Amino acid sequence: MFSCLLLALTGWGMAWRLSRRISKPESPPPAARTRPVPHHPPQTHDPHQLAETIPGMALVLGAMGQVLACNRAAQTRHGDSLHALLRHPNARNSLHTALNAPLMPESDIPTACSTTISLDVPIQRTIRLSMRRLPGTVGRDSLVLTLLDDRSAIQAADRIRADFVAHASHELRTPLASLSGFIDLLRDGGDQTDPASRSLYLDIMHQQATRMQRLIDRLLYLSQLELKGHQRPREQLDIGELFATVLGEVMPRFRDSSRQLDMTHEDDLTVLADEDELVQVLLNLMENAIRYGTQPDRPLHVRLNARRSGLDDDLAAGDTGVLLSVADNGPGIAAHHLPRLTERFYRITDAPISDNTDTGQGTGLGLAIVRQILDRHGGRLRFVSTPGEGTTCLIWLPAAPPA
């Protein structure tokens, strides 16, 4: 009986333990270690502070393409043409792409996009835009960081090399052929060449060498202008001081009693300009007046004038500025030549050149240099001429803002 009791107690104990195991909830398996989800607090961007932080040229645009911030580098270089730049179809398409760009793999940073824009007015420019939507900005509150890379100088250098090969090789061929011919004459003639002929040959060779030197100097100067053509001058220049400098340069040309020079200007005329370049503009125009305006039967009269442009001045087109004019009473220029006067190496073949002029034969680059300088200054140029009465060159320059 005792054994039966012991067996019963053992069975009850096993049953109790089994019931406890079944009723006790099983503890869950150890949770697998998971990567903590990063928490990004809402980002706030100060557009102005962000733009100024960028060392290059930078803008911050809104979702509609409006300029919310522009750093100093971009304002200085492209201040006058930023809106035209951003209205370009390539810029609008790039902005749309940036606003809808997907995130980069394993990142919360949107993908960047870029485009290249070429502008021909007022001067040729090539600018590359790189855009990226700022993280944490979406929809109408999107902000797009835009970087500007001005490649105009590189493009200008490529054009300069191509133009130099195309034009200079042609223009230099004539004086080189002349020099080679007279060198052959002197070498073949040897001691038998008489002194008079030798002197004549050497004079012609000197003239051709001088012409080549003048041509090369003009080409190099024009190339330098093109390289910085996209940079607007920022220095204020008083027109009275400009005229005083020009007068000192040209007075030796007007000591002859057959030439007369008049210079007049209004007071307090100021423009944003490079003084050396504007002096070169006026000197080139007055050189042309002397070269092509001098006639044997009447004195040459050159007039240099400066005044404020008015509403009735077509060249000003209603803009505030200064109107310069260089006029002569020479034989004038036929109308079909006027549109081409500023082309490189363009010469008026039927224009008489006075024998007593001290300027020599032109290079065909003087007015091309004038055009290049005025384009850099945001100016405008026009020629007005009546055959038999003379020629007037009109220049409009934007006035300097009030100090």
pLDDT tens, position by position, for the chain (403 residues)? Answer: 444 444 444 444 554 454 454 444 445 455 444 445 444 444 557 888 999 999 899 999 999 999 999 999 998 888 777 888 899 999 999 999 999 999 998 888 999 999 999 887 666 788 999 999 999 888 888 999 999 998 887 877 777 667 666 666 766 777 788 788 888 888 887 777 788 888 888 888 888 888 888 878 887 888 788 778 778 888 999 999 999 999 998 988 888 888 999 999 999 999 999 999 999 999 999 999 998 888 888 899 999 999 998 877 888 877 889 999 999 999 999 888 888 888 877 777 665 555 444 445 567 788 989 999 999 999 999 999 989 889 999 999 999 988 6
Q: Determine the pLDDT at residue 221.
A: 83
CATH label, 154-231, candidates 3.20.20.140, 2.60.40.10, 3.40.50.980, 1.10.287.130: 1.10.287.130
Residue 124 makes CB contacts below 8 A (sequence gap 6+) with 118, 152, 155, 156, 159, 229, 230
Domain boundaries, the chain: 47-150, 154-231, 232-403
Q: Determine the pLDDT at residue 22.
A: 42
* Burial group, residue 215, by CB count within 10 angstroms (0-12, 13-18, 19+): buried
Q: Which residues of 52-73 are buried (b: 16+ CB within 10 A; e: fewer)?
A: eebeebbbbbbbebebebbbeb
Q: Determine the pLDDT at residue 79.
A: 75
Secondary-structure class of domain 232-403 per CATH: alpha beta
Q: Determine the pLDDT at residue 40.
A: 45
Task: Answer for the pair 397, 381: CB distance below 8 angstroms, yes or no.
Answer: no
Q: Determine the pLDDT at residue 361.
A: 57
Task: Answer for the pair 275, 233: CB distance below 8 angstroms, yes or no.
Answer: no
CATH label, 47-150, candidates 3.40.50.620, 3.90.1300.10, 1.10.10.350, 3.30.450.20: 3.30.450.20
Q: Determine the pLDDT at residue 348.
A: 77
Q: Determine the pLDDT at residue 17.
A: 54
Q: Determine the pLDDT at residue 362.
A: 64
Of 302, 310, 325, 311, the C-alpha closest to 239 is: 325
Q: Determine the pLDDT at residue 182.
A: 82
Looking at residue 327, its amino acid is A
Q: Determine the pLDDT at residue 168.
A: 67
Q: Determine the pLDDT at residue 255.
A: 86
φ and ψ at residue 10, rounded to 5 degrees: -65, -40
